[in-house]
Chains A and B, each alone.
Chain A
Amino acid sequence: MRFLSRRRRHPLAGFVVLLLGLVVAGGLYSTLAPRSAGADTADARQVETGRQLFLVGCAGCHGKNAAGILAAKGGNYGPSLVGVGAAAVDFQVGTGRMPLANSSQQAPRKPPVYTAEETAALSAYVASLAPGPAIPDTEYTDPSDEADVTNGGEFFRTNCTACHNSVGAGGALPGGRYAPPLDDVSGKYIYEAMITGPQQMPVFADSVITPEDKRDIIAYIESVSEEPRYGGLAGGGLGPVSEGLFSWIIGIGGLVVAAIWIGAHGARVKKQT
């Protein structure tokens, strides 16, 4: 103790205290702060493979260094990917949205062009350009029994159903755009979509909706898509519009056919002439 107190007026004392404070604060932060759900980062060889793939398949729209290519009237062919993070690439490439087959209102989901390793390489390359959202950990994207499905449902109905509909059947946006259906989407892509905000979808960062809450949302979505359609054929989950269509076509149609049958004369014996 005397060693320290004797040097308390040393010119470097303030500096040491500052250093101590930084170390303590940093240490406390890294232990206590809410984790973002990042998985392991990639190695340099993966990054180089990714860069080669990028130059062949992506640079045409996104530019050779992924900085984007501006169009004449201020739009772009492909936006800058600097800072979008591995999560964005994994989502876009993994769901087949990228590479874009033709320009349209919105990139549709289609069978992916790249394999899982190639996708990982591309993600690693883009992640190496600048810090951005990382691919989430399976702890949050593969919900186990720990997930609170009820909580997930509340979050889902508050944040997601306005665009994606109560059972994730999708919804309309202006200009021919749409919120896509959520059936058959893996938990990882749901998570990545939330943190990267693809196209018109807003961002739902981990600081506002925590990874645990996101895990609950994913669990709820999976439980809704897996649960039985208790009442029978569900008509696509589109609600009263399809129900009305059924009542007219099947209900009234069927009963009118029955009425025609009831009123029909049936076979008659021909007169012998």
Chain B
Amino acid sequence: MSSELPVQRPRNDIEPAEPLDNPGLPEHLPRPTDVDPAMERRAERQISAFFGLATLLTLVFCVAYFVVPKDATFLGWSALNFSLGASLGLALLAIGIGAIQWAKKLMDDHEVIEMRHPVASSEEDRAATLGMLNDGIKESGFGRRPMIRNSLLGALGVLGLPAVVLLGDLGPLPGRTQFSTVWTKGMRVVTDVSGLPIKAADLEVGELVNAEPAILFETDEEGERVLEGTEALQAKSKAAVIVVRIRPEDITAPAGRENWGVDGILCYSKICTHVGCPISLYEQQTHHVLCPCHQSTFDLSDGGSVIFGPGKRPLPQLPLSVDEEGYLIATSDFTEPVGPSFPEIEQES
């Protein structure tokens, strides 16, 4: 019943075909839908059914958008999200499957041959183009007039500079801002979120407090926060601290910092010296604090020195004291820069 195209046998033409000759395109075998009209009609019906299903599901999408309430749940998921997504997804999938089935089952599937052309342009194209290029250059006099050429190239070359210079106001110069935080002498250490001051006597051994400088919770005469919005976040990103209480006999204070704690209460910067994630993964038995980002580990009983991980600088310590009412206060700002290292970090001023 089927009539075949003559079998084509082009030769393998990379180099002499070896060790075997190219046997040529294999004979085309028909599909069931090519020879059996019943199968063909069945395939047609199947493909049309997919498209019909897609239409139906698209309409379901449109109805669901208006009908499903925003807070309904289904299987513990958002019902609206699920109904919209499932109907849209299945509709699109159905169109795709229908189209592909059409190609696979019904469209002509004889393999077709197309010859390639060399990718490079032909010799005469090259020659003609070269000739035209030469004509153009000759007429412009570009080659004969070095003064024009050189001054033009100079002018164009420098034109890149304004593009860079115009970016000059992208941001302020860092100056010395990276070296200081909002902590000052006498500023109270307060619990983050609640803003409550911390009494030294209330802290137990093994305790961890995530704390901030009191200025973040201060309000002015109108009841507005002194620091808010972006300014508050910028202050937090350097001034956030953790306060821990360790048994005094377990602490090895670095030289000069023996009085930076209060009865085993120590305060360290919460900002990791690696790339700045806040650290509060504190293990009370080992006194190690682990940064969840890249696992830099610091020993708080040993001056915040690095135990493991990619961080290099020890965690900066904030010197503590207590005020007349027994609340924890800082006795000065950090004595070294907080947060990730930067190129000028060792430069005095």
Contact = CB atoms under 8 A, between A and B. Distances in A.
Interface string B141-183: 0000000000000000000000000000000000000000000
18 contacts: A158-B210, A162-B280, A163-B281, A171-B281, A171-B292, A173-B283, A199-B285, A200-B285, A201-B284, A203-B205, A205-B202, A205-B207, A207-B202, A209-B191, A210-B196, A268-B29, A268-B31, A271-B27
A202 B282 contact: yes
A208 B191 contact: yes
B100 interface: yes
Interface of B: 27, 29-32, 34-35, 73, 76-78, 81-82, 100, 104-105, 191-194, 196, 198-199, 202-210, 244, 278-286, 288, 290, 292, 295, 297, 308
A230 B30 contact: no
B78 A266 contact: no
A155 B193 contact: yes
Nearest to A79: B285
Contacts of A158: 192-193, 210, 280
Given A173-B290, A174-B288, A197-B284, A228 B193 contact: no
Nearest to B297: A174
List 4 A-B pairs, minimum CB-CB distance, nearest first.
A202-B208, A207-B202, A200-B283, A268-B29
Contact of B196 (A159, A171, A197, A208): A208
A243 interface: no
B196 to A, nearest CB: 7
Nearest to B284: A202
Contacts of A229: 76-77
Contact of B284 (A155, A200, A205, A271): A200
B278 A205 contact: no
Contacts of B78: 228, 230-231
Contact of B198 (A208, A228, A262, A268): A208
Q: Main SS of the interface on chain B? A: mixed
Contacts of A268: 29-31
A11 interface: no
Interface string A149-172: 001001100110011000000010
A232 B35 contact: no
Listed residue (B32, B204, B279, B308) with the most chain A CB atoms within 10 angstroms of its CB: B204
Contact of B199 (A199, A204, A207): A207
B80 to A, nearest CB: 9
A266 B31 contact: yes
A177 interface: yes
B158 to A, nearest CB: 46
Interface in A75-125: none
Contacts of A210: 194, 196
B283 A177 contact: yes
Nearest to A152: B193
Contacts of B210: 158-159
Contacts of B202: 205, 207-208
Contacts of B76: 228-229
Contact of A269 (B32, B196, B285, B308): B32
A202 B206 contact: yes
Contacts of A163: 280-281, 292
Contacts of B285: 199-200
Given A228-B77, A231-B78, A266-B104, A203 B193 contact: no
A208 B78 CA distance: 38
Contact of B100 (A162, A208, A262): A262
Contacts of B194: 155, 209-210, 213
Contact of A162 (B31, B204, B292): B292
Contacts of B29: 268-271
A267 B210 CA distance: 68
A228 B72 CA distance: 10
A187 B98 CA distance: 54
Interface string A256-268: 0000011010111
A210 B209 CA distance: 12
Contacts of A159: 192, 208, 210, 280
A233 B82 CA distance: 11
